[in-house]
A = this chain, B = another copy of it.
Amino acid sequence: MNQVICTVDVVLLTLKENALQVALLKREREPFRGTLALPGGYIHADEDGDARDAALRVLRDKTGIEVPYLEQLATFSGMVRDPRGWSVSITFYALVSTEVIEKANHPGVVMTAVDRKVKLPFDHRTIIDTAVARLRGKSQYSSLPCYLVGETFTLPQLQRVYEALMGESLNKVSFRRKIAEMDVLEPLEGQFQEAGAHRPAQLYRLKPEWREHLMLLERGL
């Protein structure tokens, strides 16, 4: 009755030198053994509470990373996407700073530019493109980009992350108004970052209650 292969795949993104990168791993098994692909795997019905649990397990096992924020992206399915048979991939995406990737330093993880023309198996190219489009779209009206910027950061650093994702320059005053409206940041008392010729910039971090939840605004940047 039900010969469907059920898997999860995760698009783990980071921003390095203003370019989005995605975590890929060489596949250890057929099909497409030896090819770079998204971290993914079968749902383990005996241990995963739900698909999100499965995605978190896959990320932990394959990249050594525990993500604070993971969002369901979409489900890709069909007769032809996997040579093994009719398959479902419930996909998720997660954002981390490059520090997190470097600290985990997990063997086999290859950070690759999202627009690099690496040939990917299954429909993983479409899955990555879908995640990037979601991230860019949602950056306009949410705190999502804050997950890419590291644990502590200055407002100019955060603005550059928003600009990189949205692909446009933002007005400093209206950017700061939006950030204040979101009310997701707290200053680190007495902690500043030297900024060359400019005066030192206040360091901020996400308030604890916003480290695992997204703030959405009705009107975007």
Chain B residues within an 8 Å CB radius of A146: none
User: For the complex, what is the distance from the CA of A5 to the CA of B90, rounded to whole Å?
Assistant: 14
Indicate with 1 or 0, residue by residue over A70-111, a CB within 8 angstroms of chain B CB atoms: 001011011110000110101000000000000000000000
Flag whether A50 is at the interface (Cβ < 8 A): yes
Taken together, the copies of this chain in the complex come to: 2
A126 → chain B closest CB, angstroms = 12
- Chain A, interface residues (CB within 8 Å), range: 20 to 34
Q: A6-B6, A42-B2 are in contact. Are A90 and B77 (CB under 8 A)?
A: yes
Known contacts A45-B85, A88-B6, A50 near B77 by CB under 8 Å:
yes
List 20 A–B pairs whose Cβ atoms lie within 8 Å, in order of A's numbering: A2-B4, A2-B45, A4-B43, A4-B45, A6-B6, A43-B86, A43-B88, A45-B79, A45-B85, A45-B86, A48-B79, A49-B78, A49-B79, A49-B80, A51-B75, A51-B88, A72-B74, A72-B75, A75-B90, A88-B88
Task: Give 8 A-B pairs besides A1-B42, A4-B4 with Cβ atoms closer than 8 angstroms.
Answer: A2-B6, A4-B43, A43-B77, A48-B86, A50-B77, A51-B75, A72-B75, A75-B75
A residues lining the B interface (CB < 8 Å):
1-6, 42-43, 45, 48-51, 72, 74-75, 77-80, 85-86, 88, 90, 219-220
